Amino acid sequence: MSPPLLSAEEEGGQSNVSLVSSSPTMDCISQSGSGLKERNYLGLSDCSSVDSSAVSSLSEEKKNNLNLRATELRLGLPGSQSPERESELCLLKSGKLDEKPLFPLLPSKEGICLPSQKNVVSGNKRGFSDTMDGFSEVKSSMYTEGNWMFQTASDSEAPQSVGQGKFSGNSGMNVALSPRPSGAQPAIMKELPTKVLQQERPRGTNGTSHNPKTASNNNNSSAPAPKAQVVGWPPIRSFRKNSLATTSKNNDEVDGKPGPGALFVKVSMDGAPYLRKVDLRTYATYQELSTALEKMFSCFTLGQCGSQGAPGREMLSESKLRDLLHGSEYVLTYEDKDGDWMLVGDVPWEMFIDSCKRLKIMKGSDAIGLAPRAMEKSRNRN
């Protein structure tokens, strides 16, 4: 209910935002040692909230963008029409279009005549209907349910817009789904955390038509390729995923289909401040699991190493961690369905996945006595 906070943004006539001055107050994060770069993020005269004031505060830089947008979008402002474009908008609603307040970022200047300025400033609803009335009768007959052949945009921009959509390309966390087709660099694939690269899924039947987008993650062929999974997609709660996985596993014995779904279990490590979770279904062998865990927990063992006097080391390499793990400093254990703690590695992988409820990286000294029980148990099972 409260109006947007304006006081923080009124910085007088500053047109650039300098970051140089910002760092001393960042006591929550460590200082950047190298020189700080000035960045102009705003490019505007101010960053106040956009009410009606924004209409008049469009800066010079924005004009070019907006003019471009005017040609792209052509929302039926007087003097800017192309017939097809109008019909699309008209057909969003068969009758009069709802009147809308002028959207402040739309162009409000040369070449495009607004309805009278008062409509904008006073917040009166904009008369789209004023523009559309002349067309609506003609075009509304085109709007038939079911037979709707959607007009493709006639702009030169549009066909490329399919490909110009930016997909994820950030520092390695998520799998980029396709490269930008206009010759820009292919999808960036840094070393992915193991939880991202899931089992590949087969493409749907429409694969062949997605030419600009069909490049696989491995940057080869434009033929339909299996897609890797992305973290958190599709957006289904893990509870539901796990539940479906369990159900279909029970049904699978009859159907014989492969069981889908994730199987997340918690992984704790003695001395680590927080736990992790891994999806056991993304691994096929103990080795893969072990490697993944080493990567995940290497940062914790760093502290351990230091305190035990590893001379002058600040970085802990993975091989050192592996040595630590294999040198019986730590062992990997799991809690099974019966609530017992077992050593990982004794039973076949499939059986392990079936029964593992959680994982724990224990100190070797704490794990004494697990091994005999594990062997006994698997003997009893068989």
**Cα–Cα distance, 157 to 164 (Å, whole number):** 10
Contact 261, 241 (CB under 8 A): yes
Q: Work out how close the CB of 168 gets to another protein at its nearest, in angstroms, rounded to a whole number.
A: 4
Residue choice 4, 123, 303, 372 for contact with another protein (CB under 8 A): 4
Q: Which of residues 321-360 bind another protein (CB under 8 A)?
A: 339
Residue choice 45, 57, 69, 306 for contact with another protein (CB under 8 A): 69
Q: Work out how close the CB of 269 gets to another protein at its nearest, in angstroms, rounded to a whole number.
A: 12
Per CB under 8 A, which region of 143-151, 181-189, 216-224, 323-331 contacts another protein? 143-151
Residue choice 36, 280, 371, 375 for contact with another protein (CB under 8 A): 36
Q: Is 2 in the site for another protein (CB under 8 A)?
A: yes
Contact 10, 48 (CB under 8 A): yes
Q: Is 280 in the site for another protein (CB under 8 A)?
A: no
- Residues contacting residue 272 through CB under 8 Å, at least 6 positions apart: 297, 300, 361
Q: Is 17 in the site for another protein (CB under 8 A)?
A: yes
Q: Is 317 in the site for another protein (CB under 8 A)?
A: no
Q: Which of residues 100-119 bind another protein (CB under 8 A)?
A: 100, 103-105
Cβ proximity to another protein, 152 vs 365, nearer residue: 152
Contact 324, 330 (CB under 8 A): yes
Residue choice 13, 79, 122, 149 for contact with another protein (CB under 8 A): 149
Q: Which of residues 183-242 bind another protein (CB under 8 A)?
A: 193, 195, 198-199, 201-206, 209-210, 213, 227, 229-241
Q: Work out how close the CB of 365 gets to another protein at its nearest, in angstroms, rounded to a whole number.
A: 25
Q: Work out how close the CB of 221 gets to another protein at its nearest, in angstroms, rounded to a whole number.
A: 18
- Residues contacting residue 110 through CB under 8 Å, at least 6 positions apart: none
Q: Work out how close the CB of 382 gets to another protein at its nearest, in angstroms, rounded to a whole number.
A: 25
73-106 per-residue burial string, b: 16 or more CB within 10 A, e: under 16 = bbbbbeebeeeebbbebbbeeeeebeeeebebeb
User: What binding mask, one character per residue, do residues 150-179 give for another protein by CB under 8 A, x or -?
Assistant: x-xx----x--xx-xxxxx-xxxxx--xx-
Whole-angstrom Cα Rg for the chain: 30
Contact 58, 108 (CB under 8 A): yes
**What SS3 state is found at 346?**
coil
**What SS3 state is found at 9?**
coil
Cβ proximity to another protein, 242 vs 346, nearer residue: 242
Q: Work out how close the CB of 320 gets to another protein at its nearest, in angstroms, rounded to a whole number.
A: 16
Residue choice 45, 71, 87, 93 for contact with another protein (CB under 8 A): 93
Q: Is 319 in the site for another protein (CB under 8 A)?
A: no
**Cα–Cα distance, 374 to 343 (Å, whole number):** 7
Q: Is 82 in the site for another protein (CB under 8 A)?
A: no
DSSP state of 13: T
**Cα–Cα distance, 200 to 133 (Å, whole number):** 52
Q: Is 379 in the site for another protein (CB under 8 A)?
A: no
Q: Is 60 in the site for another protein (CB under 8 A)?
A: no
For 39, the token pair is 């960045």
Q: Is 16 in the site for another protein (CB under 8 A)?
A: no
Residue 373, CA distances (Å) to 52, 95, 276, 344, 378 in order: 74, 76, 26, 12, 9
DSSP state of 150: P
Q: Work out how close the CB of 193 gets to another protein at its nearest, in angstroms, rounded to a whole number.
A: 6
Contact 188, 172 (CB under 8 A): yes
User: What binding mask, one character per residue, do residues 234-273 give for another protein by CB under 8 A, x or -?
Assistant: xxxxxxxx-xx--xx-xx--------xx--x-x------x
Q: Work out how close the CB of 121 gets to another protein at its nearest, in angstroms, rounded to a whole number.
A: 16
- Write 179-183 long-range contacts (CB < 8 A, 24+): 179/215, 179/219, 181/212, 181/213
